[in-house]
Amino acid sequence: MTVSSSMALLPRRLFLLALQTVCGDVAYSFPEEVKRGSVIENIAKDIGIEVGKLATRKARIDVDRNSKGYFEINRSTGDVIVTERIDREGLCGKKSTCILKQELVLEEPLELHRISFHIQDINDNSPQFKKDTIKFEIRESAAKGSRYRLDEAHDADIGQNAIQGYSIETNEYFRLNVIEKGGGGKYSELILQKELDREQKKELTIELVATDGGTPQRSGTAVIHVSVLDANDNAPVFSQAVYGASLLENSPLDIVVITVSATDADEGVNGEVTYEFDHISDESYNVFSIDQKSGEVRVSGPIDYEHLSSYEMQITAKDGLGLVSYCTLIIEITDVNDNAPITTIKSLKNPVPENSPPGTEVGIVNVQDRDSETNGKVRCSIQQGVPFKLVPSIKNYYSLVTTGQLDRELVSNYNITITATDEGSPPLSSSKSVQLSVADINDNPPVFDEQSYSAYVSENNKPGSTLCSVSARDPDWRQNGTVVYSLLAGEVNGAPVSSYLSVNGDTGVIHAVRSFDYEQFKSFKIHVMARDNGSPPLSSNVTVSVFISDVNDNSPQILYPSPEGNSFMTELVPKAAHGGSLVSKVIAVDADSGQNAWLSYHIVKSTDPGLFTIGVHSGEIRTQRDISESDSMKQNLVVAVKDNGQPSLSATCSMYLLISDNLAEVPELKDLSFNESNSKLTSYLIIALVSVSTFFLTFIIIILGFRFCRRRKPRLLFDGAVAIPSGYLPPNYADVDGTGTLRSAYNYDTYLTTGSRTSDFKFVTSYNDNTLPADQTLKKSPSDFADVFGDSLETLEVGGHVFELGSCVHVFQPY
Ligand SMILES: *[C@@H]1O[C@H](CO)[C@@H](O)[C@H](O)[C@H]1NC(C)=O
Ligand SMILES: *[C@@H]1O[C@H](CO)[C@@H](O)[C@H](O)[C@H]1NC(C)=O
Ligand SMILES: *[C@@H]1O[C@H](CO)[C@@H](O)[C@H](O)[C@H]1NC(C)=O
Ligand SMILES: *[C@@H]1O[C@H](CO)[C@@H](O)[C@H](O)[C@H]1NC(C)=O
Ligand SMILES: CC(=O)N[C@H]1CO[C@H](CO)[C@@H](O)[C@@H]1O
């Protein structure tokens, strides 16, 4: 049925085959799409009818009512002419044979010839794809050999004219595989023959050509558009394999140290790079942080050069689907002078003995600065004004040595400040205080507060009473400075000192061991030693002068007349005595001194009060008027002798006076006695009277003798004074010492007159400061004394040697 070859052979004649139908019908075969008016065949010849009759027989091609007429018959020629375009594909589609059945009607007689028009396909349709563009999205990770089915192309033609094959533009990635469908059609698929790389080629455009088998061949094209989908096949790439940065230590938080960056050729998620630290040490982890997105490395913790001077860490860059790459970041930290030097006392000899020679090493100091280079170079010094210096020793060590002699008593503690300064800029410094104490050496003896001590005590003191206290200081430490007092052995009046005084070893208070008697001795000296408890001990001694002051403890002693009254002492008063005549004299002494020994005489009782007077101070009894005949022959006087002490002590005596010119005239001498009954007594009295007179004469002679001697050697006079018959004198009378200050300058003489008118003697006593009212004597300075003394005197005219006390007149002689 195919006539393609005959059509080619007979171009001018389209009628190639006349097909005989079984019923005598005619069949024509011709290609579609012939031109209108084309003559297909001469039917007259085919059905054997004359051409001339066609018209008369009204030959025509009839069609069914519903069919379209494609053909006509030229009644004059008998040719079948195409009147309409005949499109096989339109008429028959994909049917492999396409026949138009028409009938030739002849009238007169009616004849009916069926004519079959076999319409033959011609290649008038090109293959055609449904879309011009075939889109594919292929992941670049697709494996080699992956297949991608392509749309089939369509060609309305059939048979040979239908699609015979496909082809694609040659490219390196794909080849085409054409597959025959079971129904005869063909389709194609792309086979990946080389891995795609989105990064190299994002999109591919390949022309796909479908060709049919017609002649001429027709083809249809479509464009295969392959988008290469990204597969995460690219790891991020850092711009540098090693990043280096330097950073000052103590940089503030959040400062950006460096920004690392990695690029990833992938796109989208696959190209999103995140940064993070990879296996870094804890140190780095705490100190740096990295921004995941930007790659900024920031400071997130304290940067301490001394802790770590450089950090090395690995940073990973990771894209969305986990491809990573690494880089190394090295951060060098730059030292900053942020560490002050630290001073350590490595050893210290504490305390330092005060006798250490200059240059003694007392300590070792170590200085360290954690900074490096010049920031860590340290200079060390100590403050001025202490006897120490720092001597540099090996490396960072210094010796602390003394530069002078130490004296614990002056400075016992040193507060040494060691200052260390580094050479950074600005420099940092630190200081350390060292307490250094100086150990004591017993190098100071105790020293008494005063060069000498004086103690003043009233006589008759109670044993155990406190006289004074001495104190010595020893600046040494503890037992080296503990002072113990003791008396130095010595003698006072031949007795050991300890029997007079004792000293409290701890307090230095001096006590009297016994009661003192001014009359026995007025002063004495002792030595008190102060000794410390050091080893060996040091000591010093001091003189303590003890002055005993007088107390009015002795009542006047009447020497004449005998106070006892047992002996009848009678003075004869001549009858012719005129007024003012010296009759007798009361002689009294007082063992006390000064005022306590200043005696005054008073007549307390007399037979004839108007007849006799007594000199208040002299004790001289004188007639007041002339004796008259009427006066009683026997006169009796009671005389009181008082001292001037406070309170004053007194003694009384009786004096018997006989107004007579002759003792023999007195027969009633006995009567004079208060006890006249004893005649024996009278004779005793006489004997006594005579003996006393004798004694007196002797006494006066001796006194005069000594007075004469005194001009050359005055002091002996006192000894002379002691020569008063011992029976009349108190045992310790007239102990005159002259060791006082003021008192030694003057002596005063008391003129006493004896009963005999011719003889008078001078009783000399020392005037001394113990004439004070008897206070409790304790320590009294001489000046105190002077005051008191001055107060007690109404007038004191030392220069004029006259000095009045009350009504008494005393004559002082410079001694
Ligand atoms: C020592 O001196 C330092 C500085 O002058 C001072 O801070 C410290 O209190 C002193 N220490 C003593 C015990 O005096
Ligand atoms: C007293 O001095 C001696 C050396 O004279 C010394 O060895 C001793 O330690 C000192 N005692 C005290 C308590 O300081
Ligand atoms: C008392 O001290 C003096 C010097 O002050 C000294 O010469 C004398 O030896 C000392 N006496 C005693 C017993 O220590
Ligand atoms: C006198 O003597 C008598 C006896 O001898 C005696 O009792 C009397 O006390 C004496 N009188 C005087 C004052 O002594
Ligand atoms: C109707 C028609 O087409 N008639 C044609 C038949 O053929 C002759 C000769 O070729 C023509 O002259 C007519 O016109």
- Cα gap 238→273, rounded to integer Å: 10
- 54-72 pLDDT, tens per residue? 888 888 888 766 667 788 8
Structural Rg of the chain based on CA atoms? 84
Cα(87) to centroid(ligand 5), Å: 26
| Amino acid letter, residue 333 | I
Cα(634) to centroid(ligand 4), Å: 19
Cα(417) to centroid(ligand 1), Å: 8
The pLDDT value recorded for residue 719 is 37
The pLDDT value recorded for residue 569 is 60
Place of tokens 């003792």: 663
Cα(498) to centroid(ligand 3), Å: 19
433 lines ligand 1 (CB under 6 A): yes
Residues with CB under 6 A from ligand 4: 674-675, 677-678
Which residue's CA is the nearest one to ligand 5's atom 1? Answer: 74
541 lines ligand 3 (CB under 6 A): yes
The yes-or-no answer to whether 342-437 and 447-549 have a common fold is: yes
678 lines ligand 1 (CB under 6 A): no
* Average pLDDT over the chain, rounded to an integer: 78
Q: What is the mean pLDDT of residues 253-264?
A: 91
Cα(689) to centroid(ligand 4), Å: 20
Q: From the CA of 566, which ligand is nearest?
A: 4
- 742-799 pLDDT, tens per residue? 233 333 333 333 333 333 333 333 334 343 333 333 343 444 444 434 343 333 333 4
The pLDDT value recorded for residue 568 is 58
User: Any idea which of 205-219, 613-627, 710-724 has the lowest mean pLDDT?
Assistant: 710-724
Beta carbons of 532 and 474 less than 8 angstroms apart: yes
Cα(568) to centroid(ligand 4), Å: 13
Beta carbons of 637 and 612 less than 8 angstroms apart: yes
Which of 616, 607, 608, 606 lies closest to 585, judged by CA? Answer: 616
Q: Which ligand 3 atom is the nearest neighbour of the CA of 488?
A: 13
Q: From the CA of 418, which ligand is nearest?
A: 1
Cα(736) to centroid(ligand 3), Å: 30
- Domain positions in the chain: 26-120, 128-229, 237-334, 342-437, 447-549, 557-659
- Cα gap 378→71, rounded to integer Å: 125
Q: Which ligand 4 atom is the nearest neighbour of the CA of 676?
A: 1
Whether residue 271 is predicted with pLDDT greater than 80 in this model: the reply is yes
Q: What is the mean pLDDT of residues 256-276?
A: 87
Q: Which ligand 3 atom is the nearest neighbour of the CA of 539?
A: 14
Q: Which CATH architecture has domain 128-229?
A: Sandwich (2.60)
Residues with CB under 6 A from ligand 2: 439-442, 477-480, 534
Tell me the best of 484, 532, 541 to mutate to test the pocket of ligand 3, counting ligand atoms within 8 Å of each CB and taking the most.
Answer: 541
Q: Which ligand 1 atom is the nearest neighbour of the CA of 435?
A: 13
Identify the CATH number of the domain defined by range 26-120.
Answer: 2.60.40.60
- Cα gap 288→298, rounded to integer Å: 6
- 513-547 pLDDT, tens per residue? 999 988 888 899 999 999 999 889 999 999 999 99
Task: Read off the DSSP letter of residue 698.
Answer: H
- 668-715 pLDDT, tens per residue? 554 444 554 455 667 788 888 888 888 889 989 999 888 887 665 444
629 class by beta-carbon count within 10 Å (0-12 exposed, 13-18 middle, 19+ buried) = exposed
Cα(464) to centroid(ligand 3), Å: 27
Please state, for a pLDDT cut of 90, what percent of the chain lies above it: 23
Tell me the best of 36, 43, 72, 74 to mutate to test the pocket of ligand 5, counting ligand atoms within 8 Å of each CB and taking the most.
Answer: 74
Cα(357) to centroid(ligand 2), Å: 17
Q: From the CA of 481, which ligand is nearest?
A: 2
Which residue's CA is the nearest one to ligand 5's atom 8? Answer: 76
Which residue's CA is the nearest one to ligand 5's atom 3? Answer: 74
- Cα gap 404→352, rounded to integer Å: 13
Look at phi and psi of residue 744 and say left if phi exceeds 0, alpha if psi is from -120 to 50, else beta.
alpha
Q: What is the mean pLDDT of residues 319-337?
A: 87
Supply 133's token pair: 């563009």
Cα(377) to centroid(ligand 1), Å: 26
The pLDDT value recorded for residue 532 is 93
Which residue's CA is the nearest one to ligand 3's atom 1? Answer: 541
Q: Which ligand 1 atom is the nearest neighbour of the CA of 415?
A: 1
Q: Which ligand 3 atom is the nearest neighbour of the CA of 529?
A: 14
452 vs 184 pLDDT, higher one: 452
Q: What is the mean pLDDT of residues 797-812?
A: 35
Cα(452) to centroid(ligand 3), Å: 13
Cα(99) to centroid(ligand 5), Å: 27
488 lines ligand 3 (CB under 6 A): yes
Cα(442) to centroid(ligand 2), Å: 6
Beta carbons of 231 and 267 less than 8 angstroms apart: no
- pLDDT-based confidence at 667, cuts 50/70/90? low
Tell me the best of 675, 680, 682 to mutate to test the pocket of ligand 4, counting ligand atoms within 8 Å of each CB and taking the most.
Answer: 675
Q: What fold is seen in the domain 557-659?
A: Immunoglobulin-like (2.60.40)
Place of tokens 């009782």: 605
Q: What is the mean pLDDT of residues 509-514?
A: 92
Query: Residue 395, Cβ neighbours under 10 Å: how many?
Result: 9
| Amino acid letter, residue 77 | T
| Amino acid letter, residue 584 | S
Q: Which CATH architecture has domain 237-334?
A: Sandwich (2.60)
- pLDDT-based confidence at 13, cuts 50/70/90? very low
Helix (H) / strand (E) containing 528:
strand 523-532
Give just the sign of the alpha carbon dihedral 56, 61, 65, 70: negative
CA atoms within 13 A on the CB side of 62: 14
Q: Which CATH architecture has domain 447-549?
A: Sandwich (2.60)
- 3-class DSSP string for 547-615: EEECCCCCCCEEEECCCCCCCCCEEEECCCCCCCCEEEECEEECCCCHHHHCCEEEEEEECCCCCEEEC
- Cα gap 226→202, rounded to integer Å: 8
Which residue's CA is the nearest one to ligand 4's atom 6? Answer: 675
DSSP output for 723-746 = TS-GGGS-TTTT-----SSSGGGE
Identify the CATH number of the domain defined by range 342-437.
Answer: 2.60.40.60
Tell me the best of 73, 77, 80 to mutate to test the pocket of ligand 5, counting ligand atoms within 8 Å of each CB and taking the most.
Answer: 77
Supply 799's token pair: 């220069």
Which residue's CA is the nearest one to ligand 2's atom 13? Answer: 478
Q: From the CA of 74, which ligand is nearest?
A: 5
Which residue's CA is the nearest one to ligand 1's atom 6? Answer: 433
- 376-399 pLDDT, tens per residue? 899 999 998 899 999 998 888 999
Cα(540) to centroid(ligand 3), Å: 7
The pLDDT value recorded for residue 762 is 36
Cα(440) to centroid(ligand 1), Å: 22
Which residue's CA is the nearest one to ligand 4's atom 12? Answer: 675
For the chain, report the end-to-end CA distance as a whole number of angstroms. 199
Cα(672) to centroid(ligand 3), Å: 69
- pLDDT-based confidence at 663, cuts 50/70/90? low
DSSP output for 223-272 = EEEEEEEP-S----EES-SEEEEEEETTPPTT-EEEE--EE-SS-GGGG-
Kindly tell me the number of DSSP H helices and DSSP E strands found in the chain.
9, 58
